[in-house]
Structure 1
């Protein structure tokens, strides 16, 4: 079902009245992102006129309503952008309650939902956010179906969406037995960043770029998502997942789709997701020979990690698309843990024109990087065009130059939404534009099968580096772009 086109304007549409249930409300994600994000939406006037937020967790971790409100206050104070104070906080705090839920014992949650709906009135919409480990998804979804809570409600599902094609299909079958696809929101906070929407604006709202956005003018594309963080005590999750399943499928591949898609018929969910799915259909099966898997030094000494673990903490790979626009253009994707810097950067390298009109000496002086368009997703985001220009003076000497668009220089970003905030708002509005479809995620796992079945061995790399040395060979004749590694 198509969602309405996005409403223009500074504030945008306001959702219908809602009861929001946060499963895993005592966990780290709820504390760092979800509760502070909901409060920021309240301060921005973007929550419904009437709403309630119900925290839920197994009985062993359950809180009373007052305890949950205190936890929310502490979370907002520590991780929020604004302090929990004043009338807006008092209204938000009064909208919080808690209902425990165990398989076969959803009584407390059912009571909490009924009381919340009575308080809101007029049959509010229900939104369920599964901030729980993936292994808990099936039981929660089945209980939502058997108790009737799922009726008419929407579901937010956290990544990873399976670990291969069979598990992704099994997860989809479980969820689709209770929720139809129009009510499922597979969330990736990375896609909620302003810079993702700005890719669409940059390409399709400007005649300057779209005519050269193809194989005739672009030589290669890089998508970099390095992280400084280690696995930080998450061995139980990471050992069974690794960087490719945790990051590459959910972040860089999704950005690749926005970079490579054809112009959508309209800025509606159906049109955008259709064009993204076409990109995934054009994706060539991943070649293990064009992949580098790395493991940071000391990973096997992390608590809970197998001393002989072959789990990768770093992945770099070359992928290609079989379609008219991008045939022959390599896309280089890279992500990993314990790297030199945390970045979210897309770099488009443009083909160089013949430079015979310039003296060789002039060309040699410009031996660095040029003819690139760099999209930096670091909040609030920036776009840099790199090119060659003549240096001042009597000789024809070429030097690198830049033109920069920065959100902070051009717009008031005081009320900009972070990724989770934007996507939770979209889920309440029923807008699936920035959420992955079941067809898209299953196609990605299908294309990944050769790599998952025959992965190359992991290569060690030093912490605070940019990964194994072999990544330089992977990208030749090009070079990796990051601000600190030029």
Structure 2
């Protein structure tokens, strides 16, 4: 096995200590889907790679009605790692990891079983280990769990990871921030977005700020428009209760795509560390104009209202496309087009920066050359493993001056360094234990994003129907006109999926 290492990224993690301080990690919602698919396999992979603290324990927790014994929790973790883990179970490695696992039930009015489990874990570690409390629970439970941590003393020496979505509008985000800050100061709050833990998203910073080739043209003088596109082929997968209250805009746009926009549009930070990076992202959010509902398309795939648990008259959007404007000197006049939705034609995660055409066209451009999204574009695919591609026009072999699309592409799958990389949750769990907030969202930034979204909530456009497997309502194409969506117009070779 190739050993993993703390990722050496733009914000300087290569200079961090290799291992965090001694820890007791408390997983709230340890029997849930997120813990099963991501957290338990991720912690095991970190342990096997030697990136967990020298001394640590993991305490699972859930309401008393879902309580497990220690042995049942270990069996649950084994099944999770077997089914979803990137690393195969190894006898010695698994035995060492399994020995760190215990369980303590906790209800807001009766946290005693959890307290006993944490005390036992801390005694096993010795000294005064740090605590990391991961709230893998429904958003409706955040406030009660935070309050319980404060009342029973578990917030001492602790950091807290809070899952998305952080609020559902400006008022709820402010209320939740007040609840969290009554127990944890902002330096100990880690609002997690697994998109920001992706190597390929983090590499946007390296692409821009480590290369003189790109930064001088990363502005309104050279870039025509930007697209951030995250279509999904899946439906709501039985999550009607969550999705009916949330919808695609709250679930994907505010939480994920706006954060990626922050990385794409930010100014060079003074230093490559958490405070400076988050300051520059906050400036981007401050410069965002309030959303204009006339520049938003909401859609709902045919058959959504027949899903179990969905209101037969539901107006919840399963698709959202919108135009965003960042009103500062770098980006004034450059539209950012964002799109995401369920049951679409292809699953992708793409940033496409389209450059302006030369002021004087020397060569004829016809349908063969493509034009539009097929050329003059820098594409960052931030799916795992991801790739970066510069798309341009080049002369085709032959006597005539005939142009065709070409590309220069870097693929993470071809990089030997990828074997040492971490998946999003693994990376962010490690960062939280190290206390590095670079890739976590901040209170003021979250509130600002909900603030710019308020006009949409006040006057949402009607949802438009679209067929499953399509690219959403036709109005989304009108939204970007005279431009076109980069997807599904994929150039000659799609580095992530082969020739199209």
**Structures share fold, TM-score greater than 0.5:** yes
Distance 2:253 2:87 in 1: 32
Pairing partner for 1:258 from 260, 263, 285: 263
Q: Does 1:367 align with 2:370?
A: yes
Pairing partner for 2:42 from 37, 46, 50: 37
Distance 1:400 1:242 in 2: 38
Measured against aligned partners, the alpha-carbon deviations of 1:28-83 in whole angstroms (never above 9, x if no partner) come to 00000000000011111110011000000000000000000000000000000122
Pairing partner for 1:86 from 83, 91, 96: 91
Change in Cα spacing, 1:349 to 1:214, as seen in structure 2 (3 Å) is: same
1:346 aligned counterpart, secondary structure: strand
Structure 2 segments unaligned to the other structure (5+ residues): 1-9, 492-500
C-alpha displacement at 1:267, in angstroms? 1.2
Match of 1:75 in 2: 80
Give the number of aligned pairs. 480
- The answer to whether the Cα contact below 8 Å between 1:22 and 1:131 also exists between their aligned partners in 2 is yes
1:250 aligned counterpart, secondary structure: helix
2:418 aligned counterpart, secondary structure: coil
1:373 aligned counterpart, secondary structure: strand
Q: Does 1:275 align with 2:280?
A: yes
Q: Mean Cα displacement is larger for which, 411-420 or 26-35? A: 411-420
Change in Cα spacing, 1:363 to 1:298, as seen in structure 2 (3 Å) is: closer
Change in Cα spacing, 1:474 to 1:68, as seen in structure 2 (3 Å) is: same
Distance 1:233 1:319 in 2: 31
Q: Does 1:15 align with 2:52?
A: no
C-alpha displacement at 1:364, in angstroms? 5.3
Measured against aligned partners, the alpha-carbon deviations of 1:76-133 in whole angstroms (never above 9, x if no partner) come to 0000012222211111000000000001101110000000000001211000000000
Match of 1:165 in 2: 170
Match of 1:239 in 2: 244
C-alpha displacement at 1:14, in angstroms? 1.0
- The answer to whether the Cα contact below 8 Å between 1:44 and 1:415 also exists between their aligned partners in 2 is no
Match of 1:302 in 2: 307
C-alpha displacement at 1:12, in angstroms? 5.8
Q: Mean Cα displacement is larger for which, 304-313 or 405-414? A: 405-414
Change in Cα spacing, 1:406 to 1:376, as seen in structure 2 (3 Å) is: same
Distance 2:57 2:345 in 1: 42
Measured against aligned partners, the alpha-carbon deviations of 1:393-443 in whole angstroms (never above 9, x if no partner) come to 111111110000111223332232110000010000000000010000000
- The answer to whether the Cα contact below 8 Å between 2:289 and 2:327 also exists between their aligned partners in 1 is yes
- The answer to whether the Cα contact below 8 Å between 2:194 and 2:428 also exists between their aligned partners in 1 is yes
C-alpha displacement at 1:485, in angstroms? 5.6
- The answer to whether the Cα contact below 8 Å between 2:225 and 2:336 also exists between their aligned partners in 1 is yes
Q: Does 1:292 align with 2:292?
A: no
1:374 aligned counterpart, secondary structure: strand
Match of 1:151 in 2: 156
Structure 1 segments unaligned to the other structure (5+ residues): none
Distance 1:254 1:173 in 2: 22
Q: Does 1:463 align with 2:492?
A: no
Match of 2:354 in 1: 349
Measured against aligned partners, the alpha-carbon deviations of 1:11-39 in whole angstroms (never above 9, x if no partner) come to 96210110000000000000000000000
Match of 2:400 in 1: 395
Superposition pairs of residues 54-133 of structure 1, within 5 angstroms = 54-133=59-138
Distance 2:415 2:97 in 1: 32
Runs of 4+ in 1 over 4 A off after TM superposition: 483-486
- The answer to whether the Cα contact below 8 Å between 2:240 and 2:307 also exists between their aligned partners in 1 is yes
Match of 2:29 in 1: 24
- The answer to whether the Cα contact below 8 Å between 1:77 and 1:84 also exists between their aligned partners in 2 is yes
Distance 1:133 1:58 in 2: 12
Root-mean-square deviation over aligned CA pairs: 1.4
Superposition pairs of residues 155-234 of structure 1, within 5 angstroms = 155-234=160-239
- The answer to whether the Cα contact below 8 Å between 1:247 and 1:335 also exists between their aligned partners in 2 is yes
Superposition pairs of residues 366-445 of structure 1, within 5 angstroms = 366-368=369-371, 369-445=374-450
- The answer to whether the Cα contact below 8 Å between 1:230 and 1:337 also exists between their aligned partners in 2 is yes
Could you state the TM-score of these two structures normalised by the residue count of structure 1?
Answer: 0.97
